[in-house]
Amino acid sequence: MANQENRILLAQHSVFPDANQLQACLQAVIQEQQQLCGGAASSTLFSVRLRQRLLILHRYFTALSRHAPAEARSPIRKQQNLQANLSRQKR
């Protein structure tokens, strides 16, 4: 009987969080867990090396795109050059 009375007194005098507070707390825990997992995953040797390789490839393709011939950059110009070459061959 005393145990039940203690529960009733505890329920009357304590403040229970409502659904919105519980949802906010859950979202905060999920966000912290995602940040922790993201930090752990991005610091592995594989991910560091992969990021370095991707950066090198990005620089390589950027340099290639800057040095591409002008006719390769413009499809219209390329088509015009092809038509001009065909008309020269027909003559």
d(CA 15, CA 25): 16
**Per-residue pLDDT tens for 33-58?**
999 998 888 888 998 999 999 999 99
Residue 12, token pair as written in the block: 């009357």
> Distances from the Cα of 42 to the Cαs of 39, 72, 81, in angstroms?
5, 38, 48
Look at 68 and 1; give whichever has higher pLDDT: 68
Tell me the domain boundaries of the chain: 46-91
SS3 (DSSP) at 43: coil
Contact 41, 47 (CB under 8 A): yes
Q: What is the pLDDT of residue 89?
A: 73
Question: Length of the chain, please?
Answer: 91
**Per-residue pLDDT tens for 5-30?**
656 655 555 677 888 999 999 999 99
Predicted confidence band of residue 70 (pLDDT cuts 50, 70, 90): low
Cα–chain center distance at 71 = 35
Look at 88 and 45; give whichever has higher pLDDT: 45
Write down the pTM of the prediction. 0.42
